[in-house]
């Protein structure tokens, strides 16, 4: 996405861009990363930079990592644009970007979930010209419990597993709060496929996962893999596994005895988005879906 009238792009590796801002390491926010001509300057968090370098083999000389609260000045067609990183409370390494220059004040949220840290950081911003807002769940029927409550619901399901193997649906990165809470309570790491192990090891959470399937009753896979695999197996038909799917889309899913959908989201629900917009004064709001 191009930011305003600048040649700065967000979550899209445009070759000609003055700079590319990467809000977090999710595949739908790495559009164009395999282009033959990468952009000269990619701004992101240190953790995202490590993943881009080690997992995606992106040229580290083109990466400009910013810690929360840090800024970098970008030369955009002769105009200096100051870019500051703010906490996004989404997945590990996720950040928002506040851009300012003469006649330009913009906030690009990327994906985020409102919490006290996010509230404090955006409340200090001056009035904005444009707010690019994550509106994935911007509909009145979306009402999520707090992340703490959703994590507790997952743990309670795991406490009542009755010896069954637990399968947890996770992303390549994210939902780590659930893995951390389960590890603290039960003392078992999660078996994951090699691609996910590589990501968790890169972000310093290797203790939460294991390559030894026999050492743990817990598994963690992509949701799509679980939904495809278990519809065909005898294990699924007989209800032996416990499959937990933490997702904001839980109201769209049909329930099977082996499946439990929990309304855990790393995005804002409708009420949180309304509260966020009250905190941030913006002349124009551009909604980003998905």
* pLDDT given at position 66: 98
* pLDDT given at position 5: 85
* pLDDT given at position 156: 97
* pLDDT given at position 231: 64
Which DSSP state fits 127? P
Q: Which two tokens stand for residue 196?
A: 């996910």
Q: What share of the chain is helix, strand, coil (3-state, %, to 5)?
A: 30, 25, 45
pLDDT tens column, 112-139: 999 999 999 999 999 999 999 999 999 9
Residue 37: how many other CB atoms lie within 10 Å: 9
Q: How far apart are CA 76 and CA 7, in angstroms?
A: 6
Q: How far apart are CA 236 and CA 181, in angstroms?
A: 26
pLDDT at 184 over 70: yes
Decide if 93 contacts 45 (C-beta within 8 A): yes
The dihedral built from the CA positions of residue 134, 171, 260 and 155, taken in this order, carries a sign that is negative
Residue 136: how many other CB atoms lie within 10 Å: 21
Note the pTM of the prediction, 2 decimals.
Answer: 0.92
- Cβ-in-10-Å burial (0-12, 13-18, 19+) of 42 comes to buried
Mean of all residue pLDDT scores within the chain: 91
pLDDT at 102 over 70: yes
pLDDT at 73 over 90: yes
Question: Which helix (H) or strand (E) is 21 found in, with range?
Answer: strand 19-21
> In order of start, what are the domains of the chain with their CATH numbers?
8-139+269-288 (3.60.15.10), 147-262 (3.40.50.12650)
What 3-state DSSP class applies to 51?
helix
Q: Which two tokens stand for residue 232?
A: 């065909």
* pLDDT given at position 234: 61
């Amino acid at each position: 996405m191009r930011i305003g009238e600048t040649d700065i792009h967000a979550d899209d590796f445009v070759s000609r861009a003055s700079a590319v801002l990467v809000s977090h390491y999710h595949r739908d926010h790495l559009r164009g990363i395999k282009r033959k001509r990468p952009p000269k300057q990619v701004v992101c968090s240190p953790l995202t930079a490590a993943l881009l370098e080690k997992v995606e083999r992106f040229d580290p000389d083109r990466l400009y990592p910013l810690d929360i609260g840090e800024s970098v000045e970008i030369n955009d067609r002769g105009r200096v644009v100051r870019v500051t990183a703010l906490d996004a409370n989404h997945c590990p390494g996720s950040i928002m970007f506040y851009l300012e220059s003469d006649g330009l004040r913009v906030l690009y949220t990327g994906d985020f979930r409102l919490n006290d840290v996010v509230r404090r950081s955006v409340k200090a911003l001056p009035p904005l010209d444009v707010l690019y807002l994550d509106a994935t769940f911007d509909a009145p029927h979306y009402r999520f419990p707090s992340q703490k409550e959703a994590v507790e619901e997952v743990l309670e399901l795991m406490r009542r597993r009755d010896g069954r193997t637990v399968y947890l649906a996770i992303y390549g990165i994210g939902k780590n709060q659930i893995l951390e809470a389960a590890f603290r309570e039960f003392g078992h790491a999660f078996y994951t496929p090699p691609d996910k192990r590589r990501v968790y090891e890169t972000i310093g959470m290797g203790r939460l996962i294991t390559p030894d399937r026999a050492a743990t009753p817990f598994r963690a896979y992509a949701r799509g893999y679980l939904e495809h695999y278990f519809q065909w197996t005898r294990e699924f038909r007989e209800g032996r596994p416990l499959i937990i799917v933490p997702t904001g889309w839980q109201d769209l899913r049909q329930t099977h005895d082996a499946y439990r959908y929990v309304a855990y989201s790393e995005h804002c629900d409708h009420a949180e988005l309304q509260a966020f917009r009250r905190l941030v004064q913006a002349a124009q709001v551009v909604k980003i879906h998905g």
